[in-house]
Amino acid sequence: MSKNKNILKHLAIIMDGNGRWAKERGLIRTKGHEKGAEVTREITRYCAKHPTIETVTFYAFSTENWKRPKYEVNFLMKLLDSWLRNELETYHKFGARFETVGNIEGFSPKLQETIAYIKKETAHHTNVTQILALNYGSREEIAKAASRLANRNEPITEESLGNELNTPYSDIDMMVRTSGEIRLSNFLLWQLSYSELFFTKTLWPDFTAKELEEMIEQYVNRERRFGGV
């Protein structure tokens, strides 16, 4: 019996395990973030070439990650800035458009400038849209969207609230979390309602396009019922 295969348009990834990867090697945690950034590039390359993936959303910094030691937070901010600047060429090479979701007003003016610049320079690319979730928290996103609707005296419905979220209203087909943690950590709670979830013990710096490809092979054959029979 042949069955329709699922199409993967929007993939979301919780990149987790950078710190543990570094610790296992006797390195400081920030080395794991550096290696992790390279993996983000490789996965974006894969997504840009993939025939059906239109969007890949990576969780890079949560609203809760400010709780980390100052040294690590500062390192992550600097890494993001220098990485984005160096990455422009790669975005052009992959035909990848850069976007963000989250409260980037919480970042330094310099970093905000870099983010705006890379968005502008890559806006014309169509192979894939790479969204980095930066200073992102799903509860905050939902609460702010509801409050904007209420202030405008507009009805709060599934459709209006979905459209008001900062992440353009697009259901996520598939979500991957690395490092063996089985939780969402405040990531895209609304948009993940009917996603197919994948968890792997692989730490983010060790994750590969090959492992992703194997997950996608499972995804296309999963039965997505959306409440039907």
Centroid of chain to Cα 66 = 18
Which member of 14, 43, 47, 216 binds ligand IPE (CB under 6 A)?
A: 14
Q: Which does 164 bind (CB under 5 to 8 A by kind): ligand IPE, Mg ion, none?
A: none
31, interface contact from Mg ion, ligand IPE, none, CB < 5-8 Å by kind: none
Q: Which of residues 154-213 bind ligand IPE (CB under 6 A)?
A: 179, 181, 183, 185
Give min distance, CB of 137 to ligand IPE, in A: 10
CA distance 97 to 47: 12
Residue 40: name its binding partner from Mg ion, ligand IPE, none (Cβ under 5 to 8 Å by kind).
none
Catalytic residues: 16, 65
How far is Cα 132 from Cα 96, in angstroms, rounded to an integer?
Answer: 12
Mind giving me the DSSP string for 79-142?
Answer: HHHHHHHHHHHHHHHHTEEEEEES-GGGS-HHHHHHHHHHHHHHTT--SEEEEEEEEE-HHHHH
- The correct pick among 11, 12, 15, 132 for binding ligand IPE (CB under 6 A) is 15
By CB under 6 A, tell whether 18 contacts ligand IPE.
yes
Stretch that binds ligand IPE, among 56-64, 84-92, 109-117, 221-229 (CB under 6 A): 56-64
Is 130 an interacting residue with respect to ligand IPE (CB under 6 A)?
no
CA 11 to chain centroid: 8
Any contact of residue 137 with ligand IPE (CB under 6 A)?
Answer: no
Residue 38 binds to ligand IPE (criterion: CB under 6 A): no
**Shortest Cβ distance from residue 158 to ligand IPE (Å)?**
26
Residue 228 C-beta: closest distance to ligand IPE, Å? 32
Would you state the torsion angle of the CA atoms of residues 132, 137, 140, 142, taken in this order, to the nearest 10 degrees?
Answer: 70
Q: Smallest distance from the beta carbon of 164 to Mg ion, in angstroms?
A: 29
Minimum CB distance to Mg ion, residue 186 (Å):
12
Query: Which positions lie near ligand IPE, rule CB under 6 A?
Result: 14-20, 59-62, 65, 76, 179, 181, 183, 185
